[in-house]
A and B are shown apart, each in its own frame.
Chain A
Amino acid sequence: HTETHTHTHTDSLLPRAVNVDLQTDATLQVDISDALSERDKVKFTVHTKSTLPNFKQNEFSVVRQHEEFIWLHDSFVENEDYAGYIIPPAPPRPDFDASREKLQKLGEGEGSMTKEEFTKMKQELEAEYLAIFKKTVAMHEVFLCRVAAHPVLRKDLNFHVFLEYNQDLSVRGKNKKEKLEDFFKNVVKSADGVLVAGVKDVDDFFEHEKTFLLEYHNRVKDASAKSDRMIRSHKSKKLFYNLQDAVASWELMQLMFFLKVSELFEKTRKIEARVAADEDLKLADLLKYYLRESQAAKDLLYRRSRSLVDYENANKALDKARAKNRDVLQAETSQQLCCHKFEKISESAKQELIDFKTRRVAAFRKNLVELAELELKHAKGNLQLLQSCLGVLKGNT
């Protein structure tokens, strides 16, 4: 059973200070107050505080699993009424496989190492597990907060059910057939996206956004991958020489004061590990999140373009119908619907994209500032340790 304090991280990804609609803060607050990691699933305790009349109580909690978050997200995506909004990206599936495997290997190898080594490794792996755990909680929380902050989505019925219904939502994960269907849907969508993207937009704002988002998304993707790789290198244990070997050498050579040096390196190694962990949170996670958000923004633009194409096609169809004087009414209705849909999407899309930029800028600012502050803190810590050890060594001449 693990308590999580994820607010710091969530805030970094979604600075509450720059929420779209500040006054909604008090009327609906959602967070994940607790989480439990079991063998193959994570149970999130979703806690809601609300003054809205829709809910039976002012404060309540339910337990939800990852699949239920996905169900909620997908229901937004499939809802035509929300076509004109950036749908908050779904949280990634909790993935403890690698961490669990490592812990298991450690357990198997227990006999072959000293008690000290085993304890140390166990602590490190557990810390790793805990870090992954905290991250997944934060990702799920961010999703809910984004929905709660959105003026339209927060009113969604499915969302309220998700928050309040204290039974299992019985949304089983997708079976193979459904997953295959999804796959094909995506292929079709990508192809269509390419087609539709070719259509030049009359509106400068959207034309600019299209170009911008396309390039931005690709670059964020690259930056995210490279930052992951860099941080993985930084986390590598092999950046420090093996402590046992060092200590054994110093003892053999009777360089006893060197044991201090080994102590020092153990401490600096821990600090380096924290630096890498902080970089992971402040930089890598930030990039990953905005990779997903920029995709969601691209999806919005795609939907808008799609509706524009539909609208133009409906116009052509209407012209044809009028020319043939056949099914004119039908064509007119259809055309009106398309027009209405397109205008509705365009209107909300513009605001959504502006908000996206505001959120993005604020999140980057917050994270970059925090990253710099943490790097400074750790470097200063390292410096102090090094200098004090140097002082002792030199004093020992």
Chain B
Amino acid sequence: MADTARDPPPAHTDFQELEDGEDLFLEPAVIQESGPASLPAEDISANSNGPKQDSLFDDDPEDLFAEATEEVSLDSPEREVLLSDGPSPAITPITPPTSVITPRIGLAHDDMFTHSSFDEIEEEEGGDSFDMHISVSDPEKVGDGMNAYMAYKVTTKTSMSLFKTDEFSVKRRFSDFLGLHSKLASKYLHIGYIVPPAPEKSIVGMTKVKVGKEDQSSNEFVEKRRSALERYLMRTVKHPILLKDPDVLQFLESSELPRAVSTQALSSAGLLRMVNKAADAVNKMTIKMNESDAWFEEKQQHFENLDVQLRKLHASVESLVCHRKELSVNTAQFAKSAAMLGNSEDHTALSRALSQLAEVEEKIDQLHQDQANADFYLFSELLGDYVRLITAVKGVFDHRMKTWQKWQDSQLLLQKKREAEAKLQFTNKPDKLQQAKDEIKELEGKVQQGERDFEQISKTIRKEVSRFEKERVKDFKMIIIKYLESLVQTQQQLIKYWDAFLPEAKAIS
């Protein structure tokens, strides 16, 4: 099997605009706009690709895991009990593993992220401590053919006073999530907040689903997406600022959501975005900031290194998943072959033992598959999320640079205007002089604002990064513990199977 190192997600421009195919084909009006014209759109955006893209569709960090880290493996019923007991910022004691990671296709999604958490939350935000759990479930195909789309049920369970009730559900489609992200990104990214990135689009995956292919790969695609959407939402709401955003609240609560039009290819908003991206790319190359603060320089370098490293690890884990699947296939084939051998063996007891061996190997094959799923859903996806998150973090640093640039630009302009005003003093043009004085006043205001903005974004980023780093530790720790627990399960199963087989083997006489 090929080791497919996953390429950095295309900076969401190429396919994003076009891909929201769910929308694309649904409304004829839109099709006209975005039909043939969509091709040039792609070309423009292709140029503005790049991981440092200041894109409104930047993958923002998904703090999804941060929540669940405190508590390891409560089953749903227990969770409900805890929820209704009311939140208290106690760290949930880690209970011995009970849940098995079984993201089997089509089954109810695994318990992985359906755990509540009593996170000790930013006291500075005040209000109730964080107690919220979101699940994305019941993917349902709506409509037919190329107009079809998947609707997901988004259920929120919470005791926080922010919400009217403590449990409620809505139906959302993929473009709704993208729309939410888009709004959040446009509001918060440029002031330094790490907005969790939305899950990636995938034309191929969605097309298969639309076309109605009911095979394993399209089921896997839906499950992968469902899981990603859930993690995305959890990450978003764990962010104390984002949680309170009206768009987020509306997304979670309101039964009807206006269609996220701006996620489509060639709406005016889309065009504008693309132009901005192109401009940004050019700007990025020319900004040379005098970094007075060593912290930022250090951190930036750190994230740079981390990006490289995580991508490598991610690729390695993806390859792992492939190989384990291959092992599973080979084990299944051997099991069949052993069964055939058992059939033709004419010594009764040996024949029976060989058949049993075949059964054991079949079960082991199943174990390998489950293991591969765990590898993937726990580990690989986490790494993928973090690769995207780090891209968002880098984006936020870039915004700071831009803010600084803006401030510098206004300062330079002010200086020029002052020089011009000085010159005007010697001429006899009172009108022009007054105008110059007015402009200078305005510019002074801008410069001050620029400086304030810069300071503000720097401050915000510091906070955000520290938060990110804390959450990251929790995330990884939780995932690795879950992963190890799944490994424990595997070994326990193995022991069971071989234990049962041993007497059969001994019975051969």
A residues touching B (Cβ–Cβ < 8 Å)?
Answer: 212, 215-216, 219-220, 222-223, 225-227, 229-230, 232-234, 236, 238-242, 245-246, 248-249, 252-255, 257-258, 261, 264, 268, 357, 360-361, 364-365, 368-369, 371-373, 375-376, 379-380, 382-383, 386-387, 389-390, 393-394, 397
- Chain A residues whose C-beta falls within 8 Å of the C-beta of B216 in the assembled complex: none
In the bound complex, what is the Cα–Cα distance between A225 and B94 (angstroms)?
A: 46
- Chain A residues whose C-beta falls within 8 Å of the C-beta of B341 in the assembled complex: 216, 219-220, 222-223
Query: Which of B309, B353, B481, B491 is the one whose CB lies under 8 Å from A249?
Result: B309
- Chain B residues whose C-beta falls within 8 Å of the C-beta of A394 in the assembled complex: 72, 94, 481
Contact yes or no, B498 A372, CB < 8 A: yes
Contact yes or no, A253 B333, CB < 8 A: no
Query: Which of A223, A254, A261, A371 is the one whose CB lies under 8 Å from B480?
Result: A261
- Interface status of B344 (Cβ within 8 A of chain A): yes
- Chain B residues whose C-beta falls within 8 Å of the C-beta of A242 in the assembled complex: 312-313, 316
Smallest Cβ-Cβ distance to B365: which chain A residue: A230
- Chain A residues whose C-beta falls within 8 Å of the C-beta of B506 in the assembled complex: 365, 369
Distance in Å: Cβ of A372 to nearest Cβ of chain B: 4
Distance in Å: Cβ of B394 to nearest Cβ of chain A: 15
Distance in Å: Cβ of A354 to nearest Cβ of chain B: 12
Binding-face segment, B234-242, B318-326, B422-430: B318-326
Distance in Å: Cβ of B314 to nearest Cβ of chain A: 9
**A226-B337, A248-B313, A393-B484 known, 13 other contacts, Cβ within 8 Å:** A222-B341, A223-B338, A227-B334, A238-B3, A238-B322, A241-B313, A241-B320, A364-B354, A375-B494, A387-B488, A389-B484, A394-B94, A397-B477
Contact yes or no, B337 A397, CB < 8 A: no
Of all A-B residue pairs in the complex, the 7 with the closest CB atoms, nearest first, are A368-B505, A365-B508, A383-B491, A233-B327, A226-B334, A241-B316, A230-B330
Most B CB contacts (10 A, CB to CB) among A230, A246, A365, A397 go to A230
In the bound complex, what is the Cα–Cα distance between A88 and B305 (angstroms)?
A: 62
Once A229-B334, A230-B333, A368-B357 are accepted as A-B contacts, the answer to whether A253 and B323 lie under 8 Å apart by CB is no
B residues touching A (Cβ–Cβ < 8 Å)?
Answer: 3, 72, 91, 94, 302, 305-306, 309-310, 312-313, 316-317, 319-320, 322-324, 326-327, 330-331, 333-334, 336-338, 340-341, 343-347, 349-350, 353-354, 357, 469, 472-473, 476-477, 480-481, 484-485, 487-488, 491-492, 494-495, 498-499, 501-502, 505-506, 508-509
Smallest Cβ-Cβ distance to A382: which chain B residue: B491
- Chain B residues whose C-beta falls within 8 Å of the C-beta of A229 in the assembled complex: 330, 333-334
Distance in Å: Cβ of A157 to nearest Cβ of chain B: 36
Contact yes or no, A376 B499, CB < 8 A: yes
Contact yes or no, B476 A255, CB < 8 A: yes
Query: Which of A223, A238, A249, A387 is the one whose CB lies under 8 Å from B340?
Result: A223
Distance in Å: Cβ of A222 to nearest Cβ of chain B: 5
Distance in Å: Cβ of A61 to nearest Cβ of chain B: 37
Smallest Cβ-Cβ distance to B383: which chain A residue: A249
- Chain B residues whose C-beta falls within 8 Å of the C-beta of A215 in the assembled complex: 344
Instruction: Determine the main DSSP class of A at the interface with B.
Output: helix
Smallest Cβ-Cβ distance to A216: which chain B residue: B344
Contact yes or no, A383 B492, CB < 8 A: yes
In the bound complex, what is the Cα–Cα distance between A369 and B501 (angstroms)?
A: 9
- Chain A residues whose C-beta falls within 8 Å of the C-beta of B330 in the assembled complex: 226, 229-230, 232-233
- Chain A residues whose C-beta falls within 8 Å of the C-beta of B480 in the assembled complex: 258, 261, 393
Contact yes or no, A252 B327, CB < 8 A: no
Once A212-B344, A386-B484, A390-B484 are accepted as A-B contacts, the answer to whether A397 and B353 lie under 8 Å apart by CB is no
Smallest Cβ-Cβ distance to B386: which chain A residue: A253
Query: Which of A236, A361, A371 is the one whose CB lies under 8 Å from B508?
Result: A361
Instruction: Determine the main DSSP class of B at the interface with A.
Output: helix
Distance in Å: Cβ of B369 to nearest Cβ of chain A: 13
- Chain A residues whose C-beta falls within 8 Å of the C-beta of B345 in the assembled complex: 216
Contact yes or no, A364 B353, CB < 8 A: yes
Query: Which of A245, A258, A365 is the one whose CB lies under 8 Å from B309?
Result: A245
In the bound complex, what is the Cα–Cα distance between A230 and B326 (angstroms)?
A: 9
Distance in Å: Cβ of A233 to nearest Cβ of chain B: 4
Contact yes or no, B323 A233, CB < 8 A: yes
In the bound complex, what is the Cα–Cα distance between A240 and B317 (angstroms)?
A: 8
Contact yes or no, A255 B477, CB < 8 A: yes
Query: Which of B94, B302, B505 is the one whose CB lies under 8 Å from A397?
Result: B94
- Chain B residues whose C-beta falls within 8 Å of the C-beta of A226 in the assembled complex: 330, 333-334, 336-338
In the bound complex, what is the Cα–Cα distance between A245 and B312 (angstroms)?
A: 7
Contact yes or no, B346 A212, CB < 8 A: yes
- Chain B residues whose C-beta falls within 8 Å of the C-beta of A393 in the assembled complex: 477, 480-481, 484
- Chain A residues whose C-beta falls within 8 Å of the C-beta of B491 in the assembled complex: 379-380, 382-383, 386
Smallest Cβ-Cβ distance to A376: which chain B residue: B498
Contact yes or no, B488 A230, CB < 8 A: no
Once A216-B345, A246-B313, A258-B476 are accepted as A-B contacts, the answer to whether A380 and B323 lie under 8 Å apart by CB is no
Smallest Cβ-Cβ distance to B483: which chain A residue: A261
In the bound complex, what is the Cα–Cα distance between A371 and B491 (angstroms)?
A: 16
Contact yes or no, B323 A239, CB < 8 A: yes
Contact yes or no, B331 A373, CB < 8 A: no
Query: Which of A238, A249, A369, A390 is the one whose CB lies under 8 Å from B310?
Result: A249
In the bound complex, what is the Cα–Cα distance between A238 and B302 (angstroms)?
A: 28
- Chain A residues whose C-beta falls within 8 Å of the C-beta of B94 in the assembled complex: 394, 397
Contact yes or no, A379 B350, CB < 8 A: no
Distance in Å: Cβ of A319 to nearest Cβ of chain B: 38
Contact yes or no, B508 A230, CB < 8 A: no
Smallest Cβ-Cβ distance to A215: which chain B residue: B344
In the bound complex, what is the Cα–Cα distance between A225 and B353 (angstroms)?
A: 20
In the bound complex, what is the Cα–Cα distance between A371 and B302 (angstroms)?
A: 49
Could you write out 10 A-B pairs with CB less than 8 Å apart? A226-B334, A230-B331, A253-B476, A264-B484, A365-B506, A382-B487, A383-B491, A393-B484, A394-B72, A397-B477
- Chain A residues whose C-beta falls within 8 Å of the C-beta of B334 in the assembled complex: 223, 226-227, 229-230
- Chain A residues whose C-beta falls within 8 Å of the C-beta of B331 in the assembled complex: 230, 233
In the bound complex, what is the Cα–Cα distance between A387 and B489 (angstroms)?
A: 10
Distance in Å: Cβ of A391 to nearest Cβ of chain B: 10
- Chain A residues whose C-beta falls within 8 Å of the C-beta of B320 in the assembled complex: 238-241
Query: Which of B333, B346, B473 is the one whose CB lies under 8 Å from A254?
Result: B473
Contact yes or no, B487 A386, CB < 8 A: yes
In the bound complex, what is the Cα–Cα distance between A246 and B316 (angstroms)?
A: 9
In the bound complex, what is the Cα–Cα distance between A208 and B310 (angstroms)?
A: 63
